[in-house]
Chains A and B, each alone.
Chain A
């Protein structure tokens, strides 16, 4: 689609170069660790080496002898202020610092405050903690056994380790279909615990002014406004009041959902600043980040598909065990404890579905964050896309053909899914056909057949995902009761330049550019003249933040609505200046002209000037507007990905030869940025598919607690992604856009897994859990007698 605006205005559809880039490229970004305040102290954290145990004693005397170490804070110290516990964003509870028991390895045990980071680190090494280790519960299945020890004895009425049970769909109707279906295929799969591993870790700088009772917290947060409110709610009793709390989220070095939760380190830093009356900085290191911060995924799924003999899918049934670790510290909407897992029927038209999830406590770090995923969509898509391949194998159909056979047809939108969603728009056949065409699918199948006769292992994997993003309609969606709207405030200055502020927070997505383009599209002001600000709760309008691909669907829509309000007012001013009625005006981006007399015109800049210097009689001066946008529905981006892999029969290594991603995220605001988001998402899908996992041994030791074993792919492992688009606008978003940040993270893992299984399908292989590591593949090759 050709852009409607000129290159000068650079509205929607232009690949505008990013406005934020010059500062990042010249070392002028302003990340959390770049902040320094006079008199600033450092917090470093003593962490538990054991996964479960009693704290017998904490001896800080040696630490306090170290020059520069000022204080050592323990749970007992915080208990005096009733700050030793905090709520999670899922209304569970979590220790800030323990008073008697540690519940997972790397849990915060004490905070050392010192004059610099070197002294703080020495202090941490010198604090002596005596533990009485207890046998931890690591396996989530074990956690549900009747004789398993109850871990959360702190919670009243908690008689076992179950956190909640959630289910969706008509169980009886689904069961009936399974009883009389021609074909039932089953699969057992684990989408393992992984970590966002943004290159910047988490941190904060808490600055409490004891004279004014004012707290400023600079912190790595994707949701600064919500954090401010949470702080006011949980720390009101120590005098923190919401008007005296300012949360500033500076430049963020990658978030991906990991910077949504509140971590104990933030609270300890704030408490230390309040107690000491000085600014306190906390920057976690990589090992703390990987070992203690919120994990993602960790869903154990038993899935079944019921189908006709010809492969027509009739029903889906999934039983899931969710390992949440010590606390349910995910950040899902409160009515959706299993997030949007009920998108698990995917792109397929079926009669019924039933999904259930049981969440359990174990002695692992808390979490369940939506890592570049709109709340459990990754798990859901992985499950259905793997199962569709299992079905294709069973009925002897090509997986592309089986998908096409079962897709929700284009004319069925808006489509009511059996699990209660109304998909806004889609054309799944178009996306799959395009991907097949680009990768030359039929030729690949021929090549594969030839390779097989020579004993070579090559696989082709498809994933045709449907995402559900843009949370969300206030009626259903909230975080701790705060509705999941988002906001934009646009002010046009007298000289025709503008500033727009948002309730969201970019972590690399390029909001400073795309939001400017959206406002430019609506107002006809050059995007270059529109400054975008986010992240400062003192200045930005309230919003729920950036995650779940929600910024474009919510705040982007708010920008459109706010800008349209401004344009409506500007039209009145233009009519006044041109001495005609408003209805006599035409609008071309940036210019109002008189119908039939286009030479009589005023620009948006003229109107802006007049708004301050010559407003029409009776009109309120100024030119600004704000909108809090409550989306009428979620958006449903989709796509078809096809991956080709080659397997080394000697080592079991999987090489991704080609990967074609056809995405449909509705109308595209900045094609360059959208492509970049897809590239990044694909890479974050490749990681968990082949490399990344955080496993634990039976004692609860994290086995991938540094970048030595948490294998973030380098440029050598990552293939040259090939991307393309189809465009099916969202009917309810004011720009027809859908959000794209997470599609590729969701869609890539099953495409890769399907390709590997496809390479081995003729040997009878039906499923391999991700990450598909060389040793796993080799074991299969060896078992099947085809290893080199």
Chain B
């Protein structure tokens, strides 16, 4: 089977790898790049634990081939916090108790960050709809919704 040379930017850092055709993006991220914040929770593209940003767009990385990401910018949970501390959404999750076991959290965060980029002032219904491709088994979502609102308000204040 042919190998493919790919170059991707992961959290702003350029990575070159030689990958098999069938290598899933999530395994490139977790096993090869050892960024283990991105998780795997199902096999059927339902749970969203593997959600990353692919050129800024939330994407289930278990349902994308690594080779398809050639040339793309990939954002994972490890890249959210900056030198000035956690992203407002990460902060919101802690303040509003938007996580329990933490397993779905990175995927939720990536989806949430993209939502706030697209829609800085989402309603509760819009938030619920936006995160409906990400399953959480612990929180009942109420506090995740609040966490997104917290971040929206905080980012809004900065404007």
Q: B40: CB under 8 A from chain A?
A: yes
Report how many A-B pairs have Cβ atoms within 8 Å. 181
Q: Which A residues lie within 8 Å of B37 (CB)?
A: 26-29
B76 contacts chain A at the CB level, 8 A cutoff? yes
With known contacts A26-B80, A27-B38, A676–B49 Cβ distance under 8 A: no
**Pair A721/B86 contact, Cβ less than 8 Å:** no
Docked-complex contact A684 and B143, CB < 8 angstroms? no
B135 in contact with A707 (CB, 8 Å): yes
> Which one of A25, A197, A252 contacts B101 once the chains associate, using CB atoms below 8 Å?
A252
Residue A510 lies at the interface, judged by CB distance under 8 Å to chain B: yes
CB-defined contacts of A509 to chain B, threshold 8 Å: 100
Contact in complex: B143, A17 (CB < 8 Å): no
Whether A676 lies near B36 (C-beta < 8 A) is: no
Given A29-B37, A199-B136, also A24-B99 (CB < 8 A):
yes
Q: Mark B74-94, 1 if CB is under 8 A from A, else 0.
A: 001110110000100010011
Residues of A within 8 A of B138 (CB): 254, 508, 676, 680
- Known interface pairs A198-B137, A199-B136, A708-B46. Does A25 touch B100 (Cβ–Cβ under 8 Å)? no
From A207-215, A630-638, A711-719, the one touching the partner chain is A711-719
A25 touches B93 (CB 8 A): yes
Assess the B139–A679 pair: CB atoms within 8 A: yes
Contact with A along B38-52 (1 / 0, CB 8 A): 111111101101000
Verify if A22 is at the interface (C-beta below 8 Å from B).
yes
Contacting pair A251 B97 (CB below 8 A): no
Indicate which residue in A252, A253, A672 contacts B39 across the interface (CB closer than 8 Å).
A253
In the complex, A721→B97 CA distance in Å?
14
Cβ of A131 within 8 Å of any chain B Cβ, yes or no, is: no
> A26 and B90: CB pair below 8 A?
yes
In the complex, whether A591 has a CB less than 8 A from a CB of chain B is: no
Binds A, one of B2-10, B53-61, B125-133: B125-133
Which of B42, B109, B124 has the most chain A CB atoms inside 10 A of its CB? B42
- With beta carbons under 8 angstroms apart, the residue of A21, A27, A256 that contacts B106 is A27
Tell me the count of chain A residues lying within 8 A, CB to CB, of chain B: 58
The answer to whether B103 touches A254, judged by C-beta atoms less than 8 angstroms apart, is yes
**B20 beta carbon closer than 8 Å to chain A:** yes
Chain A residues lying within 8 Å of B76, measured Cβ to Cβ, are 27
Question: How far is the CB of A672 from the nearest CB of chain B, in Å?
Answer: 5
Interface flags, A503-525, vs B, CB<8A=1, else 0: 00001111000000000000000
Which applies to chain B's interface (DSSP): helix, strand, loop or mixed? loop
Query: Within the complex, which residue of A27, A28, A714 is in contact with B132, where a contact is CB–CB below 8 Å?
Result: A714
Which of B41, B101, B144 is A715 in contact with, Cβ under 8 Å?
B144
Please report the C-alpha to C-alpha distance between residue A18 and residue B81 in the assembled complex, in whole angstroms: 18
| A79 proximal to B (CB < 8 A) | no
Query: Considering residues A22, A200, A285, which has the most beta carbons from chain B within 10 angstroms of its beta carbon?
Result: A200
Given contacts A285-B43, A675-B97, contact A683 B140 (CB under 8 A): yes
A254 vs chain B, min Cβ distance (A): 4
Smallest Cβ-Cβ distance to B45: which chain A residue:
A707
Rounded to whole angstroms, the CA-CA distance of A124 and B141 in the bound complex is 37
In the complex, whether B142 has a CB less than 8 A from a CB of chain A is yes
Q: Does A34 contact B (CB under 8 A)?
A: yes
- Contact (Cβ within 8 A) B49 A679: no
Question: Bound state CA distance, A610 and B81, in angstroms?
Answer: 41
Interchain CB contact under 8 A, A707 and B44: yes
User: Which of B20, B39, B137 contacts A197, CB < 8 Å?
Assistant: B137
| Contact of B43 with A199 in the complex, beta carbons under 8 Å | no
Enumerate A179-204 residues with CB–CB distance to B below 8 Å. Answer: 196-201
A34→B136 CA distance, assembly (Å)? 20
Q: Which 10 residue pairs across A and B have the least CB separation, nearest first? A: A27-B37, A24-B102, A508-B101, A253-B103, A679-B140, A508-B100, A683-B140, A707-B46, A34-B36, A27-B77
Task: Assess whether B78 is in contact with A715, with CB atoms less than 8 Å apart.
Answer: no
Q: Would you give the 0/1 interface string for A743-779, flagging 1 where the beta carbon is closer than 8 Å to chain B? A: 0000000000000000000000000000000000000
Is residue A286 within 8 Å, beta carbon to beta carbon, of the partner chain? yes
* Chain B positions within 8 Å of A714 at CB level: 131-135, 141
Are A706 and B42 in contact, with the CB atoms below 8 A? yes
A25 to B97, CA, bound (A): 11
Query: Is residue B18 contacting chain A, with contact meaning CB distance below 8 A?
Result: no
* Cα–Cα, bound, A777→B37 (Å): 42
Known pairs A17-B94, A679-B143; A201 contacts B102 (CB<8 A): no
Q: Provide the bound-state CA to CA distance between A34 and B104, in Å.
A: 14
12 contacts between A and B (CB under 8 A): A24-B105, A25-B99, A26-B81, A199-B39, A199-B49, A199-B103, A251-B102, A508-B102, A683-B139, A707-B44, A715-B134, A720-B145
Residues of B near A197 (CB, < 8 A) are 137
- How far is it, in angstroms, between the C-alpha of A673 and the C-alpha of B94 when the chains are bound? 11
A682 within 8 Å of B (CB atoms): yes
Q: B35 — which chain A residues lie within 8 A by C-beta? A: 27
Report the nearest A residue to B24, measured CB to CB: A118
Contact with B along A692-720 (1 / 0, CB 8 A): 00000000000000111000101110101
A20 adjacent to chain B (CB < 8 Å):
yes
- Whether A85 sits at the interface, judged by CB under 8 Å, is no
Instruction: Tell me if B22 is interfacial: C-beta within 8 Å of chain A.
Output: yes
Complex Cα distance, B124 from A197, in Å, reads: 26
Complex CA gap A638/B136 in Å reads 25
Given A198-B101, A254-B137, 18 more A-B residue pairs with CB atoms under 8 Å apart are A26-B80, A118-B20, A118-B22, A199-B137, A200-B39, A251-B102, A254-B138, A256-B137, A286-B44, A507-B101, A673-B97, A679-B141, A683-B141, A707-B44, A708-B46, A715-B141, A718-B141, A720-B142
Q: Chain B contacts of A31 at CB under 8 A?
A: 36, 39, 103
The docked-state distance in angstroms from the alpha carbon of A243 to that of B127 is: 51
Q: Which chain A residue lies CB-closest to B22? A: A118
Q: Is B95 an interface residue when CB atoms closer than 8 A count as contact?
A: yes
Across-interface contacts of A712 in B (CB, < 8 A): 46-47, 135, 137
Q: Are B101 and A254 in contact (CB under 8 A)?
A: yes
Q: Mark A14-50, 1 if CB is under 8 A from B, else 0.
A: 0001101111111111110110100000000000000
Interfacial chain B residues near A679, Cβ < 8 Å: 139-143
B140 and A718 contacting across the interface, CB-CB below 8 Å: yes
- What chain B residues lie within 8 Å of A682 (beta carbons)? 140
The residue in chain A whose Cβ has the minimal distance to the Cβ of B94 is A21
Give the shortest distance, in Å, between B59 (CB) and chain A (any CB). 17
Look across to chain B and name the residue whose beta carbon is closest to the beta carbon of A24.
Answer: B102
Task: Type the 1/0 row for A282-298, where 1 means its CB is closer than 8 Å to any CB of B.
Answer: 00011100000000000
Q: Which residues of A contact B132 (CB under 8 A)?
A: 714-716
Q: Is the CB of A25 within 8 A of B20?
A: no
Select A199's contact among B27, B38, B135, beta carbons within 8 Å.
B135
* Closest CB in chain A relative to B28 CB, distance in Å: 12
Task: List the B side residues contacting A117 at CB < 8 Å.
Answer: 27, 31
**CB–CB B100/A720 < 8 A:** no
Convert A113-132 into 0s and 1s, putting 1 for each residue whose CB lies closer than 8 angstroms to a CB of B.
00001100000000000000
* Cα separation A117 to B129 with both chains bound (whole Å): 34
Complex partner residue of A200 from B93, B103, B134, B145, CB under 8 angstroms: B103
